[in-house]
Amino acid sequence: MSPSRVASILASAVLASGAAVAGPVTWSYDISTTGQDVFWNSPSAADPAAAEYDFVSTVTRVDATVQYSVFPPVTVDITGQIPPEYLSSSGTLYGPPPHTIVNQHVLFPHPPDPIAVAGDLLVTMDASGFGHVSFTNIQFGTYQMNLPPFGYVTVTIRGLRVRGTVQVTPVFTGDLDRDGDVDLQDLAGFLAAFGSCAGDAAYNPAADFDASGCMELQDLASLLANFGRA
Ligand SMILES: [Ca+2]
Ligand SMILES: [Ca+2]
C-alpha cells in the first residue's frame, strides 16, 4: 500500500473518531461486615463495548476485629497473614460484559486449621460496565495470633474490613499495546509490520485481527475503525 493511501485512510479515520470514551477505570472498594452479606457497587463503568478486558484485582488491606476472652474487641491489620492468592489476581476477559472477574471461596487459614474466616467473594462487571463486589455466606471462627499484651492467644473473629482495587482496561480491536486506547502508537506498531504473514519475523498474530494469517488492509481497517478511542 502506498504511503498516500495510508495517509488518506488515516485522515478519514481521524475525522470519523470523536466518539472517544473512557480508557482504563480503577474501582476502589471498602467493605465491612460483622458476619452479614455485604455488597459494593462501583461508581463508574468501564466501556461495555470493548472486545476484551484486561483486569488487575488487588486487595490492599484486610482488618479483622478480634476478641480475646472477655476483653473488648480490637481491630488488627491482618493483611500480611493473608495468602497471596487471595490478595491479587489478573487476567483477560474475552467478549462483551457481563463478566465474572473473581469468583472465589475464601477459606482462611488453610485446612486442617480451624476456620477463622470463610465466605464467597465475587467480583463482576455487569452488561453496562459497572463493577460489583460481594462477600456472602460468611463464617467467622477463631484464630491463633500474637495479640499484645496477651501474647500468642486464640481470638474470636467478630468482623472484617476489606479494602482493594479493581483496575479494568477495555481493549478494543487495534489496541496493540493494550493501554486502553487506539492511537498513533498502535497504528505505528501495526504499520511497521504491515504486509507480514505468519512465519515472518515482523508478523504479530495479535494484530492479525481477522486471523487470516497476514497483516493486511482488512486488519488496518479494523484498527482504524476504533482509532481515537481513549
Ligand atoms: Ca493503545
Ligand atoms: Ca489479517
The tens digit of pLDDT for each residue in 136-152 reads 999 999 999 999 999 99
pLDDT of residue 36: 98
pLDDT in tens, 203-226: 999 999 999 999 999 999 999 999
Q: What's the gap in Å between 191 CA and the centre of ligand 1?
A: 14
Domain around 163 = 25-171
pLDDT-based confidence at 12, cuts 50/70/90? low
Peptide bond into 112 cis (omega under 30): yes
Q: What's the gap in Å between 93 CA and the centre of ligand 2?
A: 22
Which listed ligand is nearest to 207 at the C-alpha?
A: 2
Which listed ligand is nearest to 174 at the C-alpha?
A: 1
Q: What's the gap in Å between 120 CA and the centre of ligand 1?
A: 35
- What is the percent of the chain where pLDDT is above 70? 90
Return the H-helix or E-strand segment holding 188: helix 184-192
- Whether 218 is in a domain gets the answer yes
Q: How many CB atoms lie within 10 A of CB 62?
A: 21
Q: What's the gap in Å between 56 CA and the centre of ligand 2?
A: 30
pLDDT-based confidence at 230, cuts 50/70/90? confident
Q: What's the gap in Å between 173 CA and the centre of ligand 2?
A: 12
Number of structural domains found in the chain: 2
Name the residue with higher pLDDT: 10 or 57.
Answer: 57
The answer to whether residues 142 and 114 touch, using CB atoms and an 8 Å cutoff, is yes
Do 156 and 193 belong to one domain? Answer: no
Cell matching residue 205: 498474530
Identify residues whose C-beta is under 5 A from ligand 1, the ion. 175, 177, 179, 181, 186
Do 43 and 9 belong to one domain? Answer: no
Which listed ligand is nearest to 228 at the C-alpha?
A: 1
Mean pLDDT of 76-80: 94
Which listed ligand is nearest to 181 at the C-alpha?
A: 1
Q: What's the gap in Å between 61 CA and the centre of ligand 2?
A: 45
Identify the CATH number of the domain in which residue 203 sits: 1.10.1330
Cell matching residue 107: 477459606
Do 43 and 133 belong to one domain? Answer: yes
- Whether 176 is in a domain gets the answer no
Do 41 and 11 belong to one domain? Answer: no
- Whether 230 is in a domain gets the answer no
| Interacting residues of 212 by C-beta distance below 8 A, sequence separation 6+ | 218, 219
Mean pLDDT of 66-80: 96
Lowest mean pLDDT among 18-27, 115-124, 209-218, 220-229: 18-27
pLDDT-based confidence at 156, cuts 50/70/90? very high
Q: Say whether pLDDT at 15 is over 80.
A: no
Do 160 and 201 belong to one domain? Answer: no
- Whether 188 is in a domain gets the answer yes
Which listed ligand is nearest to 220 at the C-alpha?
A: 2
Q: Is 146 helix (H, G, I), strand (E, B) or coil?
A: strand
Instruction: Give the C-alpha separation, 221 to 227, whole Å.
Output: 10
Do 202 and 106 belong to one domain? Answer: no
- Whether 155 is in a domain gets the answer yes
**Taking the model in full, what pTM does it have?**
0.81
pLDDT-based confidence at 19, cuts 50/70/90? very low
Do 9 and 123 belong to one domain? Answer: no
